[in-house]
Chain A
Amino acid sequence: MSLALLAPLALATGVVLLGPVLAHLVRRAPTERVPYGAMLLLERLRIRLERRRRLHDRLILLLRLLGLLGLVLAAARPELRLPETRTTIGGSGRVVIVLDTSLSMDQRVEGEPAFARAQREAVSVSRGLGEGVQLAAITAGAPAETLAGFTTDHALVATLLEATRQGSGGTDLDGALALARGLLQGQPGEVVVIGDGSGPGRLATATHGIERLVATGSALLPRTFAPALAANLVVTEARYGDGLEGGTVSVTVRNFGPAGEVPATVRLPDGAQMTVFVEAPGATGEGPAEVSVSVTVPRQAEGGVASVSLADPALPLDDTRYFHLPRVGKSRVLVVDGDPGSTPTKSEVYFLERALAPFAGNGAGIDVVAPGGVSRLVEGKWQVAVLANVGDPSPIAPVLVDFVRGGGALVLAVGDNVSAEVWNPVLGGLLPSRLGRVRDLVALDAGEGVPLALPGADLELFEPFVGAGREGFGRVRSRRVYSLEPYVESSDVRTLLRYDTGVPALVEHRIGRGRVYLWTSSADLGWTNFPLQAIYAPTWQRLVSWLGAELGSSGARVSGTVGEPVEVSVPIGVEVDVTGPDGGRVEVTRAAGVVRFLPSVPGAYVVGRDGEPRLADVAVNTPLAESDVRPDEPLAEVTARIDPDRARRKLALDLAACLFAATALVAAQGLAARQPAEEAA
């Protein structure tokens, strides 16, 4: 609200205000002095009348001043500017209804979704317009879409609005205003924005759009439907984390409302489900509260897209969050024993069997065969194959290549039987680098060899090894290794372990979805003391577990958000389809090596071809911003800030009213002055 004066110079007449002030102060004093023996009475009387007389005098002075002020104002003609609140919808002849269909409109307002009420309001506005008014409708759920262009058929627009369904995506107010501008084509109109007004900062993204719309003379008229108290619980993150002892799903819940306890159910791809109760602290003035809980998953679980669901009635559409779960505890290991030892301690298999024995009991399995026994690696039966000191792998090389290209993991351990001349031509495509020569790090009969350097902390494979566990690698010493021809570190070839001298100890080679790991020393005690170290068994268990999890799900893992395009890389020339959460085909666009689609609902999407292993699992979730149901700055205030003049109406004070008020005040002071004269004396 602001005040302006149409005749500011008239304020100069305010000097007449000094008149009554001076008259009030100047009094005629008598001169006769008379002795008086009852002064006590006057003193008592003065005390009694003091307060009343003071108030009375001030009242008269105030009334006189107000009276004169009224006269001055009548001359100055002030103009009061008040916020505009009465723009008539349809007054300009063009009305655009913007209906928010975003996820947050699923908030419950007096027991029903805000969207239902907003929809009714939109229909009501449509049907209530006068004849000849051009009406258009736009949905503001991301991405914004024009529901109906300008038409005078209000019933048609109302029908379209009634048929509109709420989405699970974000809010695209800026896009909706851009569409409205396009429809209005620079002409002024009334844009009725019907939404929930929630999500701090959401309007800030549309400020520019509001400015451009207001600049054309259009008015934004918000209609907001939101619960009195913001409340919502949402899972902001769900992540599987495995360890030596098994896996857990970490669930982070954010609470935008009061504190409460809510059940959270984790559903795995194989149908298993676990429920925990989440005690969520209440949101504070500083923001929402967060709490994390861990849910232990079974030791054996299929990989795929899992979900966490909260039983929160505030905003049901965002209650479920989807996440990727790797295959858990279902790896089988095939060991190809190329050197059955004369004694157990001279056999690689002896140590491997014992290292993986506890692990095998948890669902994994270990099978041992001679090189001649490997005719083919059954698809899906083994996830990890270990080639232990196999002298001539040529008979099984094609099988191994297919195995790796199909997504399997192959661990190669050398030894006395291995010859570079044989391996390089046969396994050259699988090896991270061609084998060089056998290299003695120390004398073979020396007591100790060269120790391993500790693995890098950034390697996911060694993530579970911390503290003393990680230091255990430093006690692994080797006396002899196979050197490798020089190679370049890349995303396909990585050195995971080295010896203190820098010689590679374990090198990874990624081939498509498959992996090859080359251990440059022996798997038995021939060249290294690794099998005797405490770190030996955990390392093999971690390697098998991790590889099983990494490679267990047959497809790539992709995440997406409702309303935002999802891109998945596919082999060039391969036609793939996308299956939605409901099992139906999803409309896709295909480009070379890429398939794109726009998810409209959250859930698990599958990219692949019927009857073939899936190429990718896509976990699609609702946008987290929509779950923040705290109220945003009111649209009316933003509009008023952008164009204060247009948002206010002017109210000039009436001359006659001012004069009347002044006269009334003067009369009032006259009446007040007729109080008993002794009080004024």
Chain B
Amino acid sequence: MPWREDVVARVASLHLRARQVVAGLGVGLRRSVRVGQAVEFADYKPYTPGDSLRDLDWRVLGRRDRLVVRRYRAETEMRATLVLDASADLGSTGEKWESSVAIVATIAYLLFLENEPIGLHVAAGSGGVVLRPRRGRAQLARIFAALAALRPAGRADLATTLAAVGTRAHDRSLLVLVGDFMEPTAHWVGALDALARRRVDLRAIHVFDRREFELDFAQPLKLYSLEGGADETLDPAAMRESVREEAARFVAEVRDGVRARRGVHHLVEARADLVPVIGEFLRGREGRFG
């Protein structure tokens, strides 16, 4: 990558912001929710025929005359792929884009701290970026550099992007999808099926600008898309309620589509503080619009 001062400065900025968010969280460890064979004890469960006798707790049997099986918390490698929608519409308001990039950077930093392999896949944008999951500081630097150099541009084709990611994703890996998802849901939600079949831990971080969803404009105007297409002339006051309702319907469609594939849908307002956002992300809680 050629030396560019603004990119370096942005990398530094991203790094700093990610660290601040993580610091604000007060946590740095990730625990897998999966239960299976590993070294760290989790809990007991009553013995049922079919359980391996190797897991039988002989001590409990000796003391209490009960058959129980020990269960362990798995501590396994989690390969993570971060997918960022960099289509031109993300740049319609600066907050949407900045927020999306910061979320991706923060999650990358968190995973780096856990020493997990991290990959990055950018849909559309000023330059195509595909970084396969790797560990280490150098990978984090590559991700930060790519994010810093990226500008929203073009049309994102989520269906194609997800299909490409899905073919490479490992079973039970983590996939974080960040963007505004401004494509007809029927076009791309089906592409999540391949991820669901591989039991990928799907996190869809849906970034929106409340000003756009509530049509927060003062007077009649012409709206246009940075991705092209005809202008739309409208009276914001007259259309506001309808657009708000339509936005709610759209968010619900996206959420239902993700949930149907055993994913988690996080709705993030572009101007929101990222600390609670990432906190919710780590706890697997969904946000809500409207």
Contacts and interface: CB of A to CB of B under 8 A. Distances in A.
B93 interface: yes
Contact of B92 (A35, A44, A45, A678): A35
B175 to A, nearest CB: 23
A681 to B, nearest CB: 5
A55 interface: no
B212 A38 contact: yes
B235 interface: yes
Nearest to B235: A681
Nearest to A48: B246
Contact of A39 (B96, B225, B241): B225
A37 B242 contact: no
Contacts of B239: 42, 45, 678, 681
Given A41-B243, A678-B242, A36 B224 contact: yes
A245 interface: no
Contact of B222 (A33, A44, A677): A33
A34 B247 contact: no
Nearest to B230: A39
B89 A30 contact: no
Contacts of A48: 246
Nearest to A677: B238
B238 A37 contact: no
Interface in A34-63: 34-42, 44-46, 48-49
Contacts of B247: 38, 41
Interface residues of B, number: 39
A32 interface: yes
A31 interface: yes
Interface string A618-650: 000000000000000000000000000000000
Contact of A681 (B183, B224, B231, B234): B234
B219 interface: yes
Contacts of B238: 676-678, 681
B220 to A, nearest CB: 4
B50 interface: no
Contacts of A44: 246, 249-250
B218 to A, nearest CB: 10
A274 to B, nearest CB: 86
B209 A37 contact: yes
Contact of B223 (A39, A49, A681): A39
Nearest to B250: A41
A42 B250 contact: no
A19 B235 CA distance: 25
A32 B222 contact: yes
Contact of A35 (B182, B225, B242): B225
A29 B232 CA distance: 11
Contacts, number: 99
B184 interface: yes
B213 interface: yes
Given A45-B246, A677-B235, A681-B239, A34 B229 contact: no
A163 B238 CA distance: 85
B222 A37 contact: no
A45 B242 contact: yes
A44 B252 CA distance: 14
Contacts of B91: 37
Most central of B180, B183, B209, B233 by chain A CB within 10 Å: B233
Contacts of A30: 219-222, 233
A34 B222 contact: yes
Interface in B84-105: 89-93, 96
A592 B227 CA distance: 117
Nearest to A33: B222
A37 B93 contact: yes
Interface in A4-33: 29-33
Nearest to A42: B232
Nearest to B222: A33
Given A34-B223, A38-B89, 16 more contacts: A29-B222, A33-B223, A34-B221, A35-B223, A36-B92, A38-B92, A38-B180, A38-B208, A39-B182, A39-B229, A40-B250, A44-B250, A45-B242, A49-B242, A676-B238, A678-B235
The 10 closest A-B pairs by CB, nearest first: A37-B92, A36-B223, A37-B89, A39-B225, A30-B220, A32-B221, A678-B238, A38-B212, A677-B238, A33-B222
24 contacts: A30-B221, A32-B222, A33-B222, A34-B221, A35-B225, A36-B212, A36-B225, A37-B93, A38-B92, A38-B208, A38-B213, A38-B247, A39-B232, A40-B183, A41-B212, A41-B213, A41-B243, A45-B239, A45-B243, A45-B246, A678-B235, A678-B239, A681-B234, A681-B235
